[in-house]
Amino acid sequence: MRALRDELDLRRKTEIHEIEERKNSQINTLMKNHERAFSEIKNYYNDITLNNLALINTLKVSSFDSSSQKGMFTNFSDEVVNNDSACLIAGTS
């Protein structure tokens, strides 16, 4: 009777150990999958952020170019108006 109890106890411990091994294996697999998915999402959003920053810088440069061209056109138009005014004043005297 004692031998049978010891044998069943040993079998139970072995089965518990096998179950724990499978559980740990599944946990490790889930953790690896999670890490890979997290890394993919992180890379995705980092790419979006980098693209947005590049777009912002491009728009800043474009805006600066536009405002400098606008300033040049304003200066040019002011010169033309001043020259026209000077010609009109010179022509009327």
Residue-wise pLDDT tens digits, 37-72: 999 999 999 999 999 999 999 998 887 776 666 666
pTM above 0.85, yes or no: no
Question: How many domains are contained in the chain?
Answer: 1
- Determine, yes or no, domain membership for 72: no
Please give the share of the chain, as a percent, with pLDDT higher than 70. Answer: 70
Answer with the residue of higher pLDDT: 71 or 14: 14
Domain that holds residue 29: 1-66
* N residues, the chain: 93
Give the C-alpha separation, 83 to 68, whole Å. 22
- For residue 73, what pLDDT band results from cuts at 50, 70 and 90? low
| pLDDT at position 60 | 87
DSSP result, the chain: -HHHHHHHHHHHHHHHHHHHHHHHHHHHHHHHHHHHHHHHHHHHHHHHHHHHHHHHHHHHHHHHHHHHHHHHHHHHHHHHHHHHHHHHHHHH-
Q: Is residue 6 domain-resident?
A: yes
